[in-house]
Amino acid sequence: MTINHRLLDILRRGRSPHENHLIDGLVRGAFSRREFLRYGSVLGLSAPLLGGITSAVGFGLAPSMARAGTPGGTIRYGQIVPAAAVNPVTVADGGGLTVLSQFGETLVFSAPDLSAQPLLAESWAPNADGTVWTFKLRQNVKFHNGKVMTADDVVATFDRLSDPEMGSNALSVFTGVLSKGGTRKVDDYTVEFHLDAANGSFPYAVSTDNYNSIIIPAEFPEDFEATMVGTGPFKLEKYTPKVGASFVRNTDYWGPAPLPDRVEATFYGDYQPQILALQGGAIDVIQQLPVLQAVALLNDPNFTIISTPSSAHQQVHMRTDMDPFKDKRVRQAVALTLDRPKIIAGLMRGKAQIGNDSPFMPAFPSTNPSVPQRQQDIAQAKQLMEAAGVGAGFQTTLTTEKYLEIPDYAVLIQNAVKEIGIDLQLNIMDQGTYYGDAVFGKSPWLDSSMGISDYGHRGVPNLFLQAPLMSGGPWNSAHFNNAEYDALVKGFVASLDLESQRATAGQIQTLLLDETPLIQAYFYDFLTVTKAGATGVVPTAMGHLMLGQASL
Amino acid sequence: MTDLPTPVEAAAPEHGWRDDLRRLRGSVSFVVGAVIVLFWVGCAVFGQSLVPFDPFADDLMNSLMPPSSEHWFGTDQLGRDVFSRVIVGARDILTVAPIATLLSTILGTALGLTMGYFGGLIDEVSSRLVDAVLALPTVIVALLALTALGTSTFTVLVVIAFSFAPIIARTVRSAVLSEVSLDYVAAAELRRENTLYILFIEILPNVMPPILVETTVRLGYAIFTVATLSFIGFGIQPPSPDWGLSISANYGLIGGGFWWAVLFDCLAIASLVVGINLVADGMESTLND
Amino acid sequence: MMLALLTLWLLSVLIFLGGHLLPGNVGRAMLGPLADQAAVDVLNHEMGTDRPLLVQYLDWIAGFLTGDLGQSYAYRSPVAPFLMTALLNSAKLAAVAFVLVVPLGILGGVVAALYRGRAADRILSVVGLSATVVPEFVSGIVLILIFGIWLRWFPISATWVDGAGPLTQLYHLILPAIPLVLILFGYIARMARAGMIEALDADYTRTAVLKGLSYPKVIWRHVLRNALLPTISVIATQTVYLIGGLVVIEILFHYQGIGSLIYTAAKKKDFPMLQAGVMSIGALFALTTFLADLLYARLNPRIRFGGRE
């Protein structure tokens, strides 16, 4: 690897201290090329510049263009029926999001490799302490109603989302991050976000990682479902609640001309009928399939499985404030009984990444790889049980929900802890009952001494680190209360450069391994299935399905 | 069904229960049905200690293996032995369904005796209530009750008991109507026996045959209902190897060719309900002669 | 009729109370566990689910009586169109099932009656009754395995592409209809057999034979018509049962009918949808019972023959 310092110096010109720090890290070998690209993109370095820097450092940017598809035709895809009205302000379910992704676009695209890519924003940059982020908007973007998109629309969109009066689902992302009025127009194509607190990964909060952040016209139509005005490559043709939707090519699209003439969405209540529909030729793409169902298609040459790594996981919590898991040695012992590689190979058919009992999955650039991976060790687990005074074992209940592979995972945990004398009863309820009112005292999820809950994908670990683990966090089902942890997370969220993020991450990972309030044994991949030979289908682990460049 | 009370002391005027039993043994459908049912009862009681594998033990490296000499019915998605699970899977449904049936029989018999013996307004009002209960399909009633009260075995029992009781009550009522005019009832009334004595000691033994037949038929439907509820996620809960539950968990796999994960459970349910139905059919044709 | 209305009213109270006993609150159920509490509160207020129960009941029942079935919580749009589509779809499925099962059942019953007490009679009775007790999802899955996956004769999903012709629709509905046919065949054959035997033994049949009519003609003209009567009452009583069966069949075959409407509404705690769905079944029950009584009276042999002779 030869470093072209002269080229590098030219490229460094005009870069902020954070950006130069990142470049230093790359030169020193502290980050890989991939991590550099990914984090550089968060800080707002443009793709050509990033490519220039990596080639100056000697990496060379691999050509990433897939072969061009043929224009025309109709793409028919299957998805889970939206749980509620398709309204960008309130959508809170994957089904609704998939529909939004057909016609709507966000400022930033959180790509499958976890990098932040420009979409409706051309570039962005933070101020020195990460409390103000400035976004430059694309200038040639038109809404489906013919109106040109400007800063006013962006400000209106985010004011709506951060207004407690509107009951927006995005409040779970924006509370403590962005308040109403924090989004300000600088000129027609520049917007500033004045944050409630410093945030090093803010672009993800306005990216496809946020269910609700598609940009819609400032004058939000009363009956959004009837028009679905967005900026995307397809325009609404017809929407039939519970049944499906169809979209046609947007000839005014700002980006590369969309290939398909039409996109047809069919809604399904479950996965099985989608598999049958795909096999029967009624649809060409299944937007998402859990691995349990995808087993049916894994070895079928007629279909291609697109496997997108995600941070989605099934989180096992143990109440740290009451017996039998009050003693951290008992919690460690439980975590030590799991044979993770076997669970990934058998239960998840290899479509998952190993977890180390913290939200830091291996694919996050901020994850500190020097923290040792926890492995199955029954002997040590037994010792820990002895040391905690429960060597003879005990009986307790694992409460969880009937969702995806969770019941099976619960059975595996039940069998695993048998080895150390724990007699685990399973109480598996339907999803609504398990989450209950989602407040302490009225929710088996938050009140059970041990439980398994499903967490969807996020491009950065911030949310996973805060709500389920910070003292008093609204989703803190482990009732974890640790001042040192809280301080570390605050530092992590505020830090703008990857190196310090990674250092803090190492401390957080070590602390969580020691305390083990949660078990994250694996992070499962997001699986999308297409007919063999289909190209250009771009899913995100959040649930978007981008078909603008798709072809069969 | 074997633990149902048999009318021993007060024999019916026409013929004794010993006669019935002897003639039942001659009924082909009764014998075939009884053999099937006894097989599954045996599995439910002793299955756990007889099966080749622990039905709950996972073996992730051998999941979804097709039937072989080692795993006769193959393995499921956790590598558990399907044969062992099907055998042990008889247990929960053969606990819940008979209890539910017994409850509905007790309820229905008490109601039917009262309706038939007293007649008049009581009969009229009760009949209307029975009609109202029958206006909704059991599955829908169960769906409402289970979402309202939460999924639990207890709720399943109560729903089935209350949905089936009216049907049994109707049968008992018509049987009682043909008894009340008979001399032995009048004699008991003349002796000023108390009403409960007349209902349960005098009349009940004589209407036992239709009750037994109806109970057996209901048992078949109780199994039908419990299995269906388990299939739609409101019945028996994991990790039970229950048939309906296993089918519900695995039917998504049939498109991939993993038929063994559901077919054997389907056959098990079908054979059990058909077996019970054959028993009922045999009883009915024998007792009606 | 009064009784039917009373039953319906009782049903409405029960359904409403049942619906509002459901655990969890509506806004939370709709937005999911991870949604912000403020969003949940705003939604509950918008939908009026934070009002007292009695107010909500009166509001609902008043709307119901004036033909306003309310707004679906989940879809924020009127319930009526969903209900209509679902009822129409279920009616199609039920129609296919009836069209298949009624002639088959009557034929089975007639054959059994004509060969009374012989092997054919026994076999038909045992097979028919056995089919009646096998749960629909069991027969449905076996059918899917054999005809959908192994032989690939029929589509496994009952939902057809938008704008498909009646024949395509029929083709999609055959497989889902068979489990219902299996369940109903036993009942209808049994009732037809009983009616047929009664008619064969009746005086008017003997009279007709004595009058010199040929045996097949007698069967066709007198006996068959009378065998139809009990069958009609079976169909009437089984309509309600059939809807219970539809829940499972519609889930299994992914079909947007009344059964799956009620099932998903219950799961999503979409009360207005659930209430409208269950009420429509109650109404259907009242209606079919009423129609069956009318039809029964028209076809009753005593009335017909008494009037003529």
Are residues C244 and B138, on separate chains, in Cβ contact within 8 Å? yes
Domain co-membership, C257 together with C124:
yes
Are residues B238 and A411, on separate chains, in Cβ contact within 8 Å? yes
Domain-terminating residue out of C22, C49, C65: C65
Domain co-membership, C14 together with C109:
no
Nearest CB neighbour to C264, from listed A225, A269, A453? A269
User: What is the Cα–Cα distance from B207 to B179, expressed in whole angstroms?
Assistant: 8
Domain co-membership, C167 together with C30:
no
The pLDDT assigned to C301 comes to: 52
Determine, yes or no, domain membership for B10.
no
Supply the mean pLDDT for chain B: 84
Domain co-membership, B228 together with B245:
no
The pLDDT assigned to C285 comes to: 78
Tell whether C133 lies on the interface with B, counting CB pairs under 8 A: yes
CB atoms within 10 A of CB C27: 24
Touching partners of A (3+ C-beta pairs < 8 Å) = B, C
CA A91, A313, A361 angle in degrees (round to 5)?
A: 115
Residues in chain C with CB shorter than 8 Å from the CB of A277 are 157
Percentage, residues of chain C above pLDDT 90? 10
pLDDT band for position A287 (cuts 50, 70, 90): very high
Count Cβ atoms within 10 A of the Cβ of residue C171 and give its class: 0-12 exposed, 13-18 middle, 19 or more buried.
middle
Determine, yes or no, domain membership for B6.
no
Work out the minimum CA distance from C280 to partner chain B, whole angstroms: 11
Q: Which residue has better confidence, A285 or C157?
A: A285
For the cut 50, the answer to whether the pLDDT of residue C90 exceeds it is yes
Domain co-membership, B101 together with B231:
yes
Residues in chain C with CB shorter than 8 Å from the CB of B247 are 137-138, 141
Domain co-membership, B155 together with B218:
yes
Domain co-membership, B129 together with B216:
yes
Domain co-membership, C140 together with C268:
yes
Work out the minimum CA distance from A298 to partner chain C, whole angstroms: 17
Are residues A445 and C42, on separate chains, in Cβ contact within 8 Å? no
Nearest CB neighbour to A296, from listed B58, B60, B252? B252
Tell whether A443 lies on the interface with B, counting CB pairs under 8 A: no
Residues in chain C with CB shorter than 8 Å from the CB of A453 are 33
For the cut 90, the answer to whether the pLDDT of residue A101 exceeds it is yes
Domain co-membership, C115 together with C254:
yes
The pLDDT assigned to C117 comes to: 81
Residues in chain B with CB shorter than 8 Å from the CB of A426 are 237-239
A120, A158 Cβ separation under 8 angstroms: no
User: What is the Cα–Cα distance from A354 to A361, expressed in whole angstroms?
Assistant: 8
Domain co-membership, C132 together with C18:
no
Residues in chain C with CB shorter than 8 Å from the CB of B131 are 3, 7
Q: Which residue has better confidence, A428 or B126?
A: A428
Determine, yes or no, domain membership for C208.
yes
Determine, yes or no, domain membership for B1.
no
Domain co-membership, C269 together with C163:
yes
Tell whether C292 lies on the interface with B, counting CB pairs under 8 A: no
What is the domain partition of chain A in residue ranges? 5-56, 69-104+232-302+528-552, 107-223, 313-524
User: What is the Cα–Cα distance from C35 to A549, expressed in whole angstroms?
Assistant: 32
Residue A234: strand, helix, or coil: strand
| CATH, range A107-223 | 3.90.76.10
How does pLDDT run across B11-20, given as a tens digit for each residue? 344 556 667 7
Q: Tell me how many domains chain C contains.
A: 2
For the cut 50, the answer to whether the pLDDT of residue B1 exceeds it is no
Q: Which of A222-236, A410-424, C10-24, C294-308 has the highest mean pLDDT?
A: A410-424
Q: Show the tokens assigned to B197.
A: 């004595």
How does pLDDT run across C45-72, given as a tens digit for each residue? 777 777 777 888 888 888 878 878 888 8
* Mean pLDDT along residues A511-540: 93
Tell me if ipTM is over 0.90.
no
How does pLDDT run across C192-245, given as a tens digit for each residue? 888 788 777 777 777 777 777 777 777 777 667 766 776 776 677 677 777 778
Work out the minimum CA distance from A239 to partner chain C, whole angstroms: 12
Work out the minimum CA distance from C244 to partner chain B, whole angstroms: 5
Nearest CB neighbour to B128, from listed C3, C144, C274? C3
Residues in chain B with CB shorter than 8 Å from the CB of A341 are none
- What's C217's domain CATH number? 1.10.3720.10
Domain co-membership, C148 together with C22:
no
Percentage, residues of chain A above pLDDT 90? 56
Determine, yes or no, domain membership for B11.
no
Amino acid at C105: G
Q: Tell me how many domains chain B contains.
A: 2
Residues in chain C with CB shorter than 8 Å from the CB of B269 are 134-135, 138
Domain co-membership, B136 together with B68:
no
Determine, yes or no, domain membership for C78.
no
Domain co-membership, B207 together with B251:
no
Nearest CB neighbour to B252, from listed A293, A402, A427? A293
The pLDDT assigned to C193 comes to: 85
Amino acid at A342: K
The pLDDT assigned to B11 comes to: 39
Domain co-membership, C137 together with C275:
yes
Residues in chain A with CB shorter than 8 Å from the CB of C267 are 430, 432
Determine, yes or no, domain membership for C81.
no
pLDDT band for position A183 (cuts 50, 70, 90): very high
Domain co-membership, B108 together with B213:
yes
Amino acid at A173: V
Residue C52: cis peptide before it, omega within 30 degrees of 0: no
Closest to C127 in 3D by CA, of C104, C97, C150: C104
Work out the minimum CA distance from A304 to partner chain C, whole angstroms: 20
For the cut 60, the answer to whether the pLDDT of residue B5 exceeds it is no
Q: Which of A28-42, A307-321, C203-217 has the highest mean pLDDT?
A: A307-321
| CATH, range A69-104+232-302+528-552 | 3.40.190.10
Tell whether C29 lies on the interface with B, counting CB pairs under 8 A: no
Tell whether A410 lies on the interface with B, counting CB pairs under 8 A: yes
Strand A74-80 versus strand A285-289 pairing type:
parallel
The pLDDT assigned to B2 comes to: 37
Closest to B234 in 3D by CA, of A402, C135, C140: A402
Could you tell me how many CB contacts below 8 A there are between chain A and chain C? Answer: 111
Domain co-membership, C56 together with C98:
no
Q: Which residue has better confidence, A11 or A179?
A: A179
Are residues B263 and C145, on separate chains, in Cβ contact within 8 Å? yes
Residues in chain C with CB shorter than 8 Å from the CB of B128 are 3, 6-7
Q: Show the tokens assigned to A539.
A: 């899913």
Residues in chain B with CB shorter than 8 Å from the CB of A300 are 256
* Mean pLDDT along residues C22-28: 65
* Mean pLDDT along residues C165-188: 88
- DSSP annotation of A119 reads S
Are residues A84 and C30, on separate chains, in Cβ contact within 8 Å? yes
- What's B139's domain CATH number? 1.10.3720.10
Are residues A296 and B56, on separate chains, in Cβ contact within 8 Å? no
Domain co-membership, C113 together with C156:
yes
Residues in chain B with CB shorter than 8 Å from the CB of A428 are 237-239
Q: Using H for helix, E for strand and C for coil, what is the string for chain C?
A: CHHHHHHHHHHHHHHHHHHHHCCCCHHHHHHCCCCCHHHHHHHHHHHCCCCCHHHHHHHHHHHHHCCCCCECCCCCCEHHHHHHHHHHHHHHHHHHHHHHHHHHHHHHHHHHHHCCCCHHHHHHHHHHHHHHHCCHHHHHHHHHHHHHHHCCCCCCCCCCCCCCCHHHHHHHHHHHHHHHHHHHHHHHHHHHHHHHHHHHHCHHHHHHHHCCCCHHHHHHHHHHHHHHHHHHHHHHHHHHHHHHHHHHHHHHCCCCCHHHHHHHHHHHCCHHHHHHHHHHHHHHHHHHHHHHHHHHHHHCHHHHHHHHC
* Mean pLDDT along residues A139-159: 93
Determine, yes or no, domain membership for B252.
yes
For the cut 50, the answer to whether the pLDDT of residue C306 exceeds it is no
Structural domain including B55 reads 24-89+241-289
A437, C32 Cβ separation under 8 angstroms: no
Domain co-membership, B198 together with B140:
yes
Nearest CB neighbour to A438, from listed C33, C162, C251? C33
Residues in chain B with CB shorter than 8 Å from the CB of A347 are 60, 77-78
Nearest CB neighbour to B224, from listed C3, C133, C141? C133
Q: Which residue has better confidence, A353 or C106?
A: A353
Q: Show the tokens assigned to A70.
A: 């043929």
Tell whether C285 lies on the interface with B, counting CB pairs under 8 A: yes
Residues 6+ positions from A387 with CB-CB distance below 8 Å: A329
Work out the minimum CA distance from B246 to partner chain A, whole angstroms: 11
Residue A527 phi, psi (nearest 5): -105, 130
For the cut 60, the answer to whether the pLDDT of residue A107 exceeds it is yes
* Mean pLDDT along residues A531-536: 89
The pLDDT assigned to C308 comes to: 35
Residues in chain A with CB shorter than 8 Å from the CB of B54 are none
CB atoms within 10 A of CB C117: 8
| Chain C: residue whose CA lies nearest to A173 | C36
Are residues C75 and A175, on separate chains, in Cβ contact within 8 Å? no
Amino acid at A334: V
Angle between helices C2-21 and B120-134 in degrees, nearest 10: 60
Query: Is the domain defined by A313-524 classed in CATH 3.10.105.10?
Result: yes
Are residues A426 and B58, on separate chains, in Cβ contact within 8 Å? no
Determine, yes or no, domain membership for C83.
no
Are residues A412 and B255, on separate chains, in Cβ contact within 8 Å? no
Domain co-membership, B115 together with B57:
no
Structural domain including C279 reads 91-304
User: What is the Cα–Cα distance from C289 to A525, expressed in whole angstroms?
Assistant: 54
User: What is the Cα–Cα distance from A114 to A38, expressed in whole angstroms?
Assistant: 7
* Mean pLDDT along residues C15-23: 68
Q: What is the total residue count of chain A?
A: 552
Are residues A430 and B237, on separate chains, in Cβ contact within 8 Å? no
* Mean pLDDT along residues A358-384: 94
Nearest CB neighbour to C157, from listed A225, A276, A475? A276
Supply the mean pLDDT for chain A: 87
Domain co-membership, C187 together with C135:
yes
The pLDDT assigned to A519 comes to: 97
Work out the minimum CA distance from C208 to partner chain B, whole angstroms: 31
For the cut 50, the answer to whether the pLDDT of residue B132 exceeds it is yes
pLDDT band for position C309 (cuts 50, 70, 90): very low
Domain co-membership, B101 together with B233:
yes
Domain co-membership, B161 together with B252:
no
